[in-house]
Each structure stands twice: as structure tokens, then as C-alpha cells.
Structure 1
């Protein structure tokens, strides 16, 4: 199907006519020229990455006298707050707990798939970030199912209301047994409590169903934002709700400026006042921490706040420092928000949001993700919940206005931390202005001594393999734990998404290619403290951890996946780990194998990707089945 500047594959325009409405199609067509600009900044991103690797250089701060590309704002003005930001809308002023998760399930009828939305909106969360990116599977037409479900829920379709009534009973059944009380007294009223927020896919990803007039895959960010905003802006405004997006994976103020221009054009196209669409930005990239005020300024009246997403940030630091043999991350469990470069990153974010713009407006800081789920033994759940509450208390003390949870059951466990304080937010809390010294830059890549051991390697590898498998099955958000703990209810499953998958292979790649020194003796492998982690050791652990997954029960590893997506996940992990050239994104290798269950086909696609990356410095991001 073609509509002026866009082509939609197969018969999806007809099957999803409720999503690809005439207004959506005309808006997509009008915004299609942005696809070229997005591709340009993504090419520039890869060129910067290649130059850093080749020249062995670190990321630096911008020249204060320069102008942010694509804007008229100087870097110095941005840093001083000499720009027009946003007043925080009423429904975003108190966001103590935001839940995150997709609005759809893989290969599931609407009435079952839409239960995700019902659980979210009845959870008691102040906001819910419905995910179109890291937690949303992309098999078949899941991105469109996600949009369909959100539209049905936001418009209070009878189907959604019927499902919500049933889900409210299930939530109260759980809360009565776990919390000793009902969470929901009036489910219809409760549906209006939670602010609806949507996370579009990052600029680095392509949509699987839409191409532009040149036959180039359409940037997923452009498609996601258009579909969500156009399909729902009227209903949201009629309900007195803000139109809010989360923007992921931004690396530079220039990229933020592209987003800003895209949102301006989208607002113009559908007749919204400039600055109506509000955005949070996930600070997930090392380069972004060098340009926080500049990103705020570039997004201007759209920008309301930052979120400190731990996992993606670790991955970006690892990737930016891939050339530096001295930069080696320890066990993932050691890299908490108080670790080395992480605490410096968090400190810069809180200082950036509490620097006022020219009108005295501050911005919000939404704290990081709580991945725990209260399911397991009494002892295991108790220990994990104490840890979750302690983490929330720390973020509240540090200045966060709220935090994220990865499961609806965590909302009423963590929310009391902010509820007891009673402050709607921490806007304007005084922190020193940002500085831009060499010491600041060094702090953003600060490695501190911590364990690097075989147990840590097994955990990284087991979950990486499981995650790749879950991705292929359509579950980009999955409750996982290392295979050695299957059947041990004292060790809880954690909600893992694409970000956690990325970092596990990224750290293992460092260990194998930079010669990480093990800090502990290990009886099973016979390694000693002081030994080097080698590729041969990786291969041994891979074989052992893979065998455990093949022997695992259907609860932990779907039996059907053991001859389909699991071997592909292993192949991807191997190619990533054994390549001298570090792939920029684990998700790229997974994406090109979506809906493919044939290992030989996967090997051909992986080889094509790596050859293209090595010889041309380019990523393959399009749907190879289009």
C-alpha cells in the first residue's frame, strides 16, 4: 500500500485500519521528509563512534562558544539556562511512581493482550510508560497491536472496560493476600488516576512495516510518535490529560533538536499549539551526560524531565570505552547507582534538572528502574522488597521526584516512600550548577574496584542467552534469572528488557577482549584469582550455561524454543563475543532475525550484518523480510 510519501507492507493498512487512519497516513506522509534527517544524524553518530575507536579518544564536552546544530541556541546559553523551557503540566507534577511495560502480548487475541493496559491503569501508579521500545516485542505486528490497545484503552472502548472490570478483581485478590487490603475501590474512577505516557523507539531503530518514498525503512521514532499522538490526542485532551512521550537513546543535543523539530511539525500538522506534546528524556548515553543542559534547551517547550535509566547507561559507557584496554566493568551486580561513574552520572542529571530556564522553570527527575517482582519464597521476597525500598529511599533523598517499577505489583510497595514524605516533587531543590572540567569528564568513566569472577560471568552469560531467546519469542520484557537459580525461590526473577540484554554481552566482551583479571578462585573451572578471562574460558562457560538451558523445564525455557530461537540466540552471542569489532547494538542482531526460526538463515543474516559493519561502517536496521 502506498500513501504519497509512505509505503506500508502487505495488507496491514486494511488489517490495522483503526491504527493507520486517514489522519495518521496523511500525517506520516507529511512528516516523511524527516526520515532523511534522522538517517543523517544516525550516520554522524556511527562516524563519531568509529573515530573514537580509531583515534582512541574519549567523549568531550562541547565548545561553549558553539551553536547547538539545528538550533540558534549557543552552548553557553543552554548551560546558563538562557532558553525557554516548559511549565510542568498539572498531571505530571506528582509522579511518585511510574510503571513501565508494553501494552500488548505476543501472538495473543486483543481481549487477552489488552489486559496489560488494564493492569497498568489500575495499578495505582501515578504514571505508566507504555513501552514501544525496549520492553515491547517486535515479532509479527506487535508494534501495531501495542498502538491498537492503547487507542482502545484511552478511548474507553467497551471491550477494554469489560477487561478492566475483570482485572480489577484479580488485582484486589492479589493485594488482599499480599498487602492485606484492596487496592481498588472504584475501578472506573481508578482508570483516570494514572497519567498515560508512551515511549517511542529510538532514532537508531527502523520501523518494520513502513518505508518512505525512496524505499528506505522509516525511522521507528517517527512512526511511533505519529501513530500514538495522532490516534490519541483528541481523547487525551478531552479527558484533561497531557500528551506525553518518553524519548530514548538520545546521544546529543543535535539529535534532541531533530526530535524537537519533528514534534513541532507534528503539532503543526494536526493543529496543536506549539509545545503541547511534552517529553521526558531517558539519560541512557554517556555522550548525553556531557550535553544535558544543551539537550534541555534543544527540546525547549517540549521538555519536562529526565529519567536515570541504569542499564542502558552502563552499556553506552562500555561501548564508548571499547577501545580503552584499561576500562573494564566488574560484575553487573556491583554496578549500582552508587558505583563510580554511575553516581557521577546521576549527580549531573539532578543538577541539570534543577537549573532554571530563563523563566524560572525547573524540570523533573524520575529515578531509575526497580526490576524486582514480589514472587518467590517468603524469605526471598522479604529481602528483595527491603532492597527495593532502600533504593527508593536513597533516590528520594538524592532529589528524585519519583521512580520507575517494572511490574504493577511493585507500585504499592515502593510508592509509600514518596507518599510518606508528601511532597509532590522536588522541583527547584538547590544543587550546584554543572561544571565542565576534566575532572567532571573523568568522573563519568570512573571505574572502582569490585568483583570480577566466574559466578558473575555465568550470570551475565546465562541471562544474555535467555534474553536473546525471549526476544525471538516476542517477549522483550521477560522475568529471568541465571540458570543455576532455577527452582530456587529465594532468588527472585527480575524483569529484564533489551537494555539488560545489551549490557550483559557488552561487559563479557570487555572481559574477553581486554583480558579482565579474575578476583576470586573458582573450584568448577579451576581458575584462580589473578587469572585472565579468555575467549576460551568464555567458550567453556557458554557450552555449560547453554546445556543448562536445554535441560531446563518449560517454565524457564520454552521447550519449543530449544530447537528454534535458543540456537539463534547462542549464535548471536557467539558472533558478538568473538568479534574483534564490537557490534554497536545487540538488538541489531536480534532484530534482523525476528520471525526467523531457521539457524542457517540466521547465520547468513548475522554474517551480512557483520560484513556490512566491518567493511562499510554501517548497521543493517531494516526489516529483511519487507
Structure 2
């Protein structure tokens, strides 16, 4: 098929459809994409506009708070729909992009759930996203296999693989390769329609449902939008209510004040909330960007022991368990080391992090690498034993967590070393993302878009508020640019001349400079970055 081919009178693809991709874009799927885009995109655009209005109030000095108009929901006696049996035990979850070999390895790992990610761990290239839909269709059918073209090694699913949950893109991301009435389809809507349509029958045949993670919500009206999308497609395909069951990531600062309301809006479809801690830190910076008293220190010291993050975790657990929903913990992004002493240190840090989560009452947690599974399994067993979850941990005796607790400024220094690390991480991640890789090992951590976002927004905020490093120097655009030049050379030496030339490092460097020195904060680095894909 040629480019800019008019598939129907209403739907235009700007990319060629291979025969395999045509299996995904059936006549039924194309009709549904047009129908749901026309029905739900106008409301989505209003919701995104509402985000900007809310941000303006924060920029003028207001702080996020619990909404007075939804007090009755927070005080009401209600529960979410009962959790399906195959979703009740989620002690350990692993995440990764929708790449074929990685899906097989993750489903074969010693975990309960694999979250296959169309979002922060996936660079949204057309081929990557649609091949990802093929990969997940095959995984749900149990037919997925892969032969490594270099080594000839074969990968197949073992017996009783992990539960598969797909994470769709955030509401802000368009899909520019697919146009309805001349405008891009919302990426989240495309991901959901295709995943539901190609998997509800194979999932239903196993007595299961279509299970999703929903990212980056900021308001309960956005949760209501998703609820209506889920219900509409269930009805359209004559599936029972609750065929779709979702877990919502609480990874924006405004959303932490809306958790009861989000659960209530999605009560027929939701099973839990998740502490998406890295994006949450990014959102704290972004939401409070105009507040000089809320500027964060080096990202390395912004751990779950910081008061604002501890309050967030504990409030999420209490809220979920009050409503009969699971409270999932955050990501351990460490990659095991081949050096024995280094690895022991890594596992000690992971253990301490998961001890804190499970002792607080979380029902499960995330890892980025299967090598961390035995350590985390050991911690989970200590706190959960034979229980599938910790819904019995109510935290009813906790002191009430206030808005002030959730907004508490963080102690810690801003250092030259921290700033330079931020520059190198953001530069390497951006280069990888522009080259089609959304999940990248950098300096012993598995980095995705969220950590790059923290890295570049931290420096942006330090520049805007003329903050000083611990050596007394003021952080300026000039200081950042001099460090970017120096750290660019460090990275070039680390990766080698060939990789630097072939993997978009110069473009990444230019983009990082532009968004870090801009007077207006770029909402998501993935939006200007998407123009290069």
C-alpha cells in the first residue's frame, strides 16, 4: 500500500501497512477507530485543556488540594467491583517494552505479572507499536515464539507464564501515523481499541479479561472518560461489563488528591492503584514549577523516605484498601551486577526499598530486571505469607494525611555531580528513544522516559529559580550549556564514535539544550521528540 492511502473515506494511514500489519488493521478495527475517535476525542481535548487551566492556577501560587465538591465521594461507603481471581495475587510485577523477545523472557520470569508497555518503556515508532500489538496477540494466544537472527537461539513460552497486563499510552500522546478527519488519533485510544479487539476472545476463552494499566491521569474526569470508553467498546462487542479491568497509576501530583474519586469513576472496571514514583517526582517538579520553596534537590536523594513520598505511598494504601482495591508499589530500577560486591550492595538497597513498601501494606511491587526477583520474592513472603494480597491492612489508625504532608518540601543538596549525572542520563536516554529504544540500561539502572523527565526538569527548575549548587555557584543556562558540552564529550567517549554518529546523539543534545533552557517548561520531552520519529 502506498503512503497517504485513503483506507476508508475517513481514515488515512501515513505509513505503509505490511501484510502482518493488515491483520491488525482489519475492517472492523478501522471502523472502530473512526467511530471511537469521533465520539471520544472532543471530550479528551477538553480534558487536556482543563489540565492547562489547572496548571495556570498552580503557576499563580495555588497548591493542589482535595476537592470540596467531591467530599461526598471521599466520605461515602462504597467499594469497587470484586477483583477477578487471576488478578488477586500480584506480589511481583516486571515491566518492559512490547518487543517480542523481551515479552517471552518477561512472561517466563519468576514474577506474577508482566506489564507490557506501550508507554514510557516504548519509543512510539510506528513499527514498534504495531508489531507490539502482533506480539501481544500472539502472547495471549500462547503461540508467541522468536528466533534470534544473529545467534539462532529460539525463545518460546514455558508452562504457566506470568499474567499479561498491557499499559496504553498517556492521554496527551497523539498517533501521527493515523488520521481521522485529517487529525491524529489519540495514541491511548488506538492502543486500547487494537489490544481489546485482538485479545478479548483469547482472554475470555481462558476465563480471564482484558487487563490494562492506565497512566498519567490527573483528574477523576479523565478516569470517567476511560470508564466510558471501556463501557462503550464492551457494549459494542457484546461483552459483559468488567471485561476490561484496569490498574491506574497515581503518577501525577494532582491525581493523589483524587484517588477516591478515580476509584469511584472506574468502580466497575478498576482493580487497583499503583505508586508510579518516578513520574510522580517528575509531576511534583512540573506542577510546582513556579514555587521556589518546593524545588527538589539531586534526584539521587529523592527516595521514598522523603516525607512527601512516604505520605503518598501510605495514603494510596489506605485509600485502596478502604475501597477493596489493590495498592501496588513502585519500581526497583536496579540491574544486577556481575561484580559480587557491587551486586550485594544493589540487592541490599532493593531489599530495604521493598521492606518499606510491604511493611507499609502494599499488595505487590515492580522490578525492571528478573535478577531482582528472588530478593523481592523473599521480602514479599515475609509480609504476605500465604495471603494473595494485603487488603486486610487497613491503616485505619494512621494520623490523617493532609495536603501539606503530600506537598512537603524535600531536604537535600543540589550538587555538581548530581547535575552532571542528570545531563548524561537525559542525553543517553533521549538518543536511545530517538533511535527507537524506550527502555535503556544506563549506569546500572534501567531507565525509561520518567527518569529522563526528572533529570531535565530538575535542571530547568534550578535555572528558573536561580538556585545554587552546594559549592555556591548559581545554576544558569550558561553553566548548564558548559556542562552539556563537557558531559557530551564524556558520553561520546563512553559509547564510541560509531554509536555517537549512528544513534542520534547530536539530535538528542540539541533537543536537550532546547527544552532545558526554554523559558516555558516543555510538558513532556516525548512530544517534541515525537516529531523526529
**Normalization by structure 1: what TM-score?**
0.80
When residues 536 and 162 of structure 1 are mapped into structure 2, their CA distance, relative to the original with a 3 A threshold, is closer
Report what 2:357 is aligned to.
395
283-292 or 531-540, which moves further after superposition?
Answer: 531-540
Report what 1:476 is aligned to.
438
* Residue 408 (structure 1) shift: 2.5
Query: Which residue of the other structure, out of 22, 40, 43, is the alignment partner of 1:34?
Result: 40
Aligned pairs for 1:413-492 (under 5 A) are 413-420=375-382, 421-422=384-385, 423-432=387-396, 440-481=402-443
When residues 161 and 305 of structure 1 are mapped into structure 2, their CA distance, relative to the original with a 3 A threshold, is farther
When residues 51 and 419 of structure 1 are mapped into structure 2, their CA distance, relative to the original with a 3 A threshold, is same
CA distance in 2, matches of 1:572, 1:553: 19
Aligned pairs for 1:127-146 (under 5 A) are 127-146=113-132
Give unpaired runs (5+ residues) of structure 1: 67-74, 105-113, 169-186, 357-361, 482-492, 520-527, 595-626
* Residue 140 (structure 1) shift: 4.2
Query: Which residue of the other structure, out of 330, 345, 354, is the alignment partner of 1:383?
Result: 345
Aligned pairs for 1:244-263 (under 5 A) are 244-263=211-230
Report what 1:23 is aligned to.
28
Maintained 8 Å contact 1:405/1:411 = yes
Maintained 8 Å contact 2:98/2:136 = yes
Give unpaired runs (5+ residues) of structure 2: 1-5
CA distance in 2, matches of 1:546, 1:468: 12
When residues 354 and 140 of structure 1 are mapped into structure 2, their CA distance, relative to the original with a 3 A threshold, is closer
SS in 2 for 1:151: helix
* Residue 5 (structure 1) shift: 4.6
CA distance in 1, matches of 2:33, 2:502: 40
Aligned pairs for 1:183-198 (under 5 A) are 188-191=158-161, 194-198=162-166
Aligned pairs for 1:485-500 (under 5 A) are 493-500=444-451
When residues 430 and 165 of structure 1 are mapped into structure 2, their CA distance, relative to the original with a 3 A threshold, is farther
CA distance in 1, matches of 2:409, 2:36: 43
- CA offsets 1:442-473 (integer angstroms, 9 cap, x no match): 22221132121111111111101111111111
Report what 1:278 is aligned to.
245
* Residue 59 (structure 1) shift: 1.9
* Residue 344 (structure 1) shift: 1.5
When residues 398 and 189 of structure 1 are mapped into structure 2, their CA distance, relative to the original with a 3 A threshold, is same
Query: Which residue of the other structure, out of 62, 82, 87, is the alignment partner of 1:87?
Result: 82
CA distance in 2, matches of 1:233, 1:221: 17
CA distance in 1, matches of 2:243, 2:360: 30
Maintained 8 Å contact 2:91/2:388 = yes
Report whether the alignment pairs 1:59 with 2:59: no
Query: Which residue of the other structure, out of 165, 169, 178, is the alignment partner of 1:201?
Result: 169
When residues 383 and 167 of structure 1 are mapped into structure 2, their CA distance, relative to the original with a 3 A threshold, is farther
Query: Which residue of the other structure, out of 50, 55, 67, is the alignment partner of 1:49?
Result: 55
* Residue 402 (structure 1) shift: 0.9
Report whether the alignment pairs 1:155 with 2:155: no
When residues 341 and 239 of structure 1 are mapped into structure 2, their CA distance, relative to the original with a 3 A threshold, is same
Report whether the alignment pairs 1:533 with 2:475: yes
- CA offsets 1:73-111 (integer angstroms, 9 cap, x no match): xx233212444521011111111101100121xxxxxxx
CA distance in 1, matches of 2:326, 2:147: 32
SS in 2 for 1:235: helix
* Residue 547 (structure 1) shift: 0.9
Query: Which residue of the other structure, out of 490, 494, 497, is the alignment partner of 1:548?
Result: 490
Aligned pairs for 1:275-354 (under 5 A) are 275-354=242-321
Maintained 8 Å contact 1:77/1:83 = no
What is the RMSD computed on CA atoms of the aligned residues?
Answer: 2.2
Maintained 8 Å contact 2:439/2:447 = yes
- CA offsets 1:512-571 (integer angstroms, 9 cap, x no match): 11122322xxxxxxxx3x4322222212211110111122234xxx72443661111111
SS in 2 for 1:17: helix
Maintained 8 Å contact 1:304/1:364 = yes
Report what 1:602 is aligned to.
none
Maintained 8 Å contact 1:355/1:433 = no
Maintained 8 Å contact 2:104/2:145 = no
**Normalization by structure 2: what TM-score?**
0.93
CA distance in 1, matches of 2:138, 2:441: 27
* Residue 263 (structure 1) shift: 0.6
Report whether the alignment pairs 1:593 with 2:503: no
When residues 158 and 514 of structure 1 are mapped into structure 2, their CA distance, relative to the original with a 3 A threshold, is closer
CA distance in 2, matches of 1:460, 1:379: 26
* Residue 354 (structure 1) shift: 1.5
Report what 2:13 is aligned to.
8
* Residue 13 (structure 1) shift: 7.1
- CA offsets 1:238-297 (integer angstroms, 9 cap, x no match): 122232100000000011110111111111111111122000000100000111100110
When residues 368 and 210 of structure 1 are mapped into structure 2, their CA distance, relative to the original with a 3 A threshold, is same
When residues 5 and 416 of structure 1 are mapped into structure 2, their CA distance, relative to the original with a 3 A threshold, is farther
CA distance in 2, matches of 1:314, 1:367: 15
- CA offsets 1:10-29 (integer angstroms, 9 cap, x no match): 33275501211233223223
When residues 76 and 3 of structure 1 are mapped into structure 2, their CA distance, relative to the original with a 3 A threshold, is farther
Report what 1:600 is aligned to.
none
When residues 4 and 434 of structure 1 are mapped into structure 2, their CA distance, relative to the original with a 3 A threshold, is farther
Report what 2:105 is aligned to.
119
Maintained 8 Å contact 2:432/2:503 = no
